């Protein structure tokens, strides 16, 4: 069964992966990090990504139409810029937690579709075994 570090190392095996982190979007705490961070500092990146994740998770505009109790309703966020992709995948837990996986990919080598599917599987395996 994978722990946090194994999960992040697995994410780093995706093509074009530069860095990965597991972040709490309420506090901005990085629960685990591997690889590089944009700007060189994982803690700053975690705090900034957490802000974006929190807005997406909490604002009604991004919720689903059915009223199921999955929290948060958003599955993932994709941010792209000229040289990289950022993929934020919310981890759905059976206990009360507000965490997401953050994967940073180079635009040249990264495969966004593949990364999105894999990161979803990893988020599930992390908490379901």
Partner 1 sequence: MTVVETPPPLPVRDRAALHERAPGALSPMLIRLAEERATGVLVREHGTLHLAEGRVVHAESPLAPGLDVLLTARGTLDAAAWPWTDDIPAALHRLLAAGLLPRGALELCRLGALYDAGYFALAPSSTPGRFRYGDPAAAGPLPAVPVMDLERETLRRRELLHRIWPDPTADGAPLIRADPVAPPPVTPRQRAVLDRVDGVRTAPQIARELGRPAFHTLVDVRRLAAAGLLAPRSPALVPPLLPPVTDPDIALLKRLRDALEAL
The residue (of 105 and 126) whose beta carbon lies closer to partner 1 is 126
* Residue 115 touches partner 1, criterion: CB under 8 A: no
To the nearest 10°, the Cα dihedral for 10, 39, 88, 56? 160
Q: How many CA atoms lie within 13 A of 64 on its CB side?
A: 11
List the structure tokens of 14. 């995706």
Helix (H, G, I), strand (E, B) or coil at 13: coil
Question: Around 105, how many Cα atoms within 13 Å sit in the side-chain half-sphere?
Answer: 25
Nearer to partner 1, 75 or 112 (CB): 75
Residues 51-90, interacting with partner 1 (CB under 8 A): 51, 54-55, 58-60, 71
Copy the structure tokens of residue 75: 């599955």
Q: Closer to partner 1 by CB, 12 or 55: give it.
A: 55
Tell me the Ramachandran region of residue 28: left when phi exceeds 0, alpha when psi lies from -120 to 50, beta otherwise.
Answer: left
Which of 18, 43, 112, 120 binds partner 1 (CB under 8 A)? It is 43
Is the Cβ of residue 16 or residue 126 nearer to partner 1 in the bound state? 126
Identified binder of partner 1 from the candidate list 20, 28, 37, 88, rule CB under 8 A: 28
Interface residues toward partner 1, by CB under 8 A: 1-4, 6-7, 22, 24, 26-29, 31, 43-44, 47-48, 50-51, 54-55, 58-60, 71, 91, 93-99, 125-129
């Amino acid at each position: 069964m994978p722990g946090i570090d194994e999960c992040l190392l697995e994410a780093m095996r995706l093509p074009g992966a530069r860095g990965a982190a597991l972040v709490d979007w309420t506090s901005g705490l990085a629960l685990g990090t591997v690889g590089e961070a944009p700007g060189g500092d994982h803690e700053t990146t975690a705090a900034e990504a957490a802000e974006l994740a929190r807005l997406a998770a909490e604002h009604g505009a991004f919720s689903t139409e059915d009223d199921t109790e999955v929290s948060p309703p958003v599955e993932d966020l994709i941010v792209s810029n000229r040289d990289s992709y950022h993929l934020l995948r919310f981890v759905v837990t059976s206990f009360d937690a507000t965490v997401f996986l953050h994967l940073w990919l180079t635009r040249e080598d990264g495969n966004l579709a593949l990364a999105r599917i894999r990161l979803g599987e990893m988020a599930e395996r992390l908490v379901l075994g």
